[in-house]
Amino acid sequence: MGRIYIPPKVSVDMYGRVNAVGKSSVEFEYLLGMRVSDVVLFDDSTEDISESGVTVLPRYYYIFVGTKDGEVQYKPYEYDKQRIVVSTYKDVITSIDSIG
Domain ranges in the chain are 23-99
Q: For residue range 36-56, what is the model confidence (pLDDT) as tens digits? A: 989 988 888 888 887 888 888
Q: Phi and psi for 58 in degrees, rounded to 5?
A: -60, 160
> Would the pTM of this model clear 0.85, i.e. be above it?
no
CB 50 within 8 A of CB 59: no
Residue 1: which pLDDT band, with cuts at 50, 70 and 90? very low
Tell me: pLDDT of 2 over 70.
no
Please tell me the predicted confidence (pLDDT) of residue 5: 62
Q: For residue range 3-18, what is the model confidence (pLDDT) as tens digits? A: 666 666 777 888 887 7
